[in-house]
């Protein structure tokens, strides 16, 4: 997105907060409760295998307390467009969760992460090889369910998303620990690595409900913008959030040398000494607790966390506007509340 558009987007971001009440996912939990029960049963069934290690590793992550926001978006977007033809939305929601879980298993190996949602990662318990292979198994099960749904359009959307996510992972790996990464490059990685699955999860709902292209586009835009906002909020929280909100330790991005948007913005505004600090920390691995404290100080000094929050709110406003095109209903209100919840994680 062009830098010149940020001021207009940020000025409209107040649309996201339509009340003084903190955002909540209670609404989407309520409207999807029945179908998500079926999704959870299907997930446990499809995670089974005659190889004991597969369900053991899969259930370790599946049962670790994630919000399952992405599959709830699939259920809600289908319901919002009048879907009542069968269990296709349940199967696609399970597909989305399996794709997400597989990505987490692979991510933790690539990032050498030790904590996920407050628990030891699968790789620290069973090793990298088992984690990668179980992730591959879950992807295979996801594609099996996609085929069972019988919608070539939905299959195309989710398979495209799978390829884009993998591409984003490789792109992020190539850019890792390089302070030459630009804001545009970073947002492109987020678009692929995170927003692609949010977008696909929201779009397949109207597809199986038989909605038109305009409805699909609105949900695609809703999911993409929500996904980018979600990641940018995570970027901010890594430098001062709560581990339980992140599903990992705060400061992990810094310790792993991840070049996130706050770092890019602070580096651009820093003097030569500050730029040298960032290069040493992110490129050379000089990122102990003292360095993390210094990094956080620099981020505040240059308003990088606030600027990233503004960008998250701007993308949130885009998602909010897309959901407002839906016919008034409890499901629409729930989808709007999800946007507020995403932004309001910054306390």
Which residue, 80, 27, 67, 40, is CA-closest to 210? 80
| Residue 168 and residue 161 in contact, taking contact as beta carbons nearer than 8 Å | no
Residue 188 is assigned to a structural domain of this protein: yes
Residue 91 is assigned to a structural domain of this protein: yes
Residue 180 is assigned to a structural domain of this protein: yes
Query: Quick count: other Cβ atoms within 10 Å of Cβ 11?
Result: 12
Query: Does the structure show a pLDDT above 90 at 329?
Result: yes
Residue 2 is assigned to a structural domain of this protein: no
> What's the CATH code of the domain at 218?
1.10.600.10
| Residue 100 and residue 135 in contact, taking contact as beta carbons nearer than 8 Å | no
Q: For the chain, what is the domain count?
A: 1
Of residues 64 and 281, which shows the higher confidence score?
A: 281
Rounding to the nearest 10 degrees, give the CA dihedral for residues 210, 213, 218, 222. Answer: 70
* Strand spans (E) along the chain: 115-116, 119-120
CA distance 98 to 92: 10
Range of the domain at 146: 24-333
Query: Quick count: other Cβ atoms within 10 Å of Cβ 206?
Result: 25
Query: Does the structure show a pLDDT above 90 at 257?
Result: no
Residue 7 is assigned to a structural domain of this protein: no
| Residue 228 and residue 193 in contact, taking contact as beta carbons nearer than 8 Å | no
pLDDT in tens, 16-46: 444 444 578 999 999 999 999 999 999 999 9
Neighbouring C-alpha atoms within 13 Å toward the C-beta of 150: 5
Where does the pLDDT of residue 188 fall: very low under 50, low under 70, confident under 90, or very high at 90 and above? very high
pLDDT in tens, 270-294: 999 999 999 999 999 999 999 999 9
Contacts 24+ apart (CB under 8 A), 235-240: 235/260, 235/261, 235/262, 235/308, 236/262, 236/305, 236/308, 236/309, 236/312, 236/346, 237/345, 237/346, 239/295, 239/296, 239/299, 239/305, 240/296, 240/305
* pLDDT value of position 11: 40
Residue 6 is assigned to a structural domain of this protein: no
CA distances 268 to 179, 180, 237, 299, Å, are 10, 10, 20, 11
| Residue 324 and residue 18 in contact, taking contact as beta carbons nearer than 8 Å | no
* pLDDT value of position 175: 81
Q: Which residues pair with 123 in a beta bridge?
A: none
| Residue 175 and residue 259 in contact, taking contact as beta carbons nearer than 8 Å | yes
The continuous run of DSSP H or E covering 238 comes out as: none
Category of 285 on φ-ψ map: left (φ > 0), alpha (ψ -120 to 50) or beta: left
| Residue 141 and residue 47 in contact, taking contact as beta carbons nearer than 8 Å | yes
* pLDDT value of position 165: 96
Query: Quick count: other Cβ atoms within 10 Å of Cβ 247?
Result: 17
Token reading at 83: 């879907």
Residue 212 is assigned to a structural domain of this protein: yes
Query: Does the structure show a pLDDT above 70 at 248?
Result: no
Residue 228 is assigned to a structural domain of this protein: yes
Which residue, 320, 314, 90, is CA-closest to 223? 320
CA distance 315 to 318: 5
């Amino acid at each position: 997105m062009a830098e010149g558009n940020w001021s207009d987007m940020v000025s409209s971001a107040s649309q996201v907060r339509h009340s003084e009440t903190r955002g909540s996912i209670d609404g989407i939990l309520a409207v999807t409760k029945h179908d998500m029960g079926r999704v959870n049963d299907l997930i446990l069934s499809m995670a089974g295998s005659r190889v004991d290690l597969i369900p053991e590793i899969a259930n370790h992550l599946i049962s670790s307390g994630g919000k399952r926001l992405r599959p709830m978006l699939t259920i809600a977007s289908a319901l919002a467009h009048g879907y009542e033809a069968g269990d296709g939305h349940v199967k696609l929601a399970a597909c989305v969760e399996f794709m997400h879980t597989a990505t987490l298993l692979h991510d933790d190996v690539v990032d050498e992460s030790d904590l996920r949602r407050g628990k030891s990662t699968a790789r620290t318990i069973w090793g990298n090889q088992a984690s990668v292979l179980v992730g591959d198994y879950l992807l295979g099960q996801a594609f099996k369910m996609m085929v069972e749904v019988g919608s070539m359009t939905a299959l195309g959307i989710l398979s495209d998303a799978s390829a884009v996510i993998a591409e984003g992972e490789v792109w992020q790996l190539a850019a890792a620990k390089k302070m030459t990464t630009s804001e545009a490059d970073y947002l492109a990685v987020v678009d692929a690595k995170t927003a692609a699955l949010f977008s696909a999860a929201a779009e397949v709902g109207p597809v199986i409900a038989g909605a038109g292209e305009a409805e699909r586009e609105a949900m695609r835009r809703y999911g993409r913008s929500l996904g980018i906002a979600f990641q940018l909020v995570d970027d901010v929280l890594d430098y001062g959030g709560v581990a339980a909100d992140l599903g990992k330790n705060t400061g992990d991005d810094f310790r792993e040398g991840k070049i996130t948007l706050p770092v890019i913005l602070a580096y651009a505004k820093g003097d030569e000494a500050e730029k040298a600090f960032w290069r040493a920390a992110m490129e050379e691995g000089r990122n102990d607790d003292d360095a993390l404290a210094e990094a956080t100080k620099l981020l505040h000094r240059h308003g990088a966390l606030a600027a990233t929050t503004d960008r998250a709110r701007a993308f949130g406003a885009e998602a909010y506007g897309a959901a407002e095109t839906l016919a008034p209903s409890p499901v629409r209100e729930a989808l709007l509340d999800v946007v507020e919840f995403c932004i309001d994680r910054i306390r």
